[in-house]
Amino acid sequence: MTSYGKLDFPLGHGHIHGDAYPGNTLWDGQGIRLGDWDKATFGPREIDLANTFQGVRFGRTAGELDDFSERYGYDIRQWSSLSTLCEIRDLHTLGSFIRRADQGDTAAAPSN
């Protein structure tokens, strides 16, 4: 894994959501809004895109990612450091499940 501190972010820094994925979208019949802004910050824009492109594990198709990339105007899959951000996101997600399981949340605990 490449060290995060050595990454070159081609999209630069700006305001990011920090947890942009479909589960944090709000639908009102007219459009879609992002909700859950507790991780919003200023940082590399690729962080929000990595969450979207990590979604292949959850059923997002290559066609959907192609469409998203075209509309966004940038295809992060061409960036050599995408895997580093996805691995960091995996650790973040795993950490939250470990904390929840440790606090007695049976939905986050291993099933036998």
β-pairing verdict for 41-44 and 32-34: unpaired
Domain-embedded: residue 111: no
Task: Please give the mean pLDDT across all residues of the chain.
Answer: 88
Domains in the chain, number = 1
pLDDT at residue number 32: 87
Task: Output phi, psi for 86, to 5 deg.
Answer: -65, -40
CATH of the domain at 17: 3.90.1200.10
Domain residues for the domain of 39 are 12-102
pLDDT in tens, 11-25: 999 999 988 877 888
Structure pTM?
A: 0.76
pLDDT in tens, 22-44: 788 898 888 889 899 998 999 99
8 Å CB contact between 35 and 24: yes
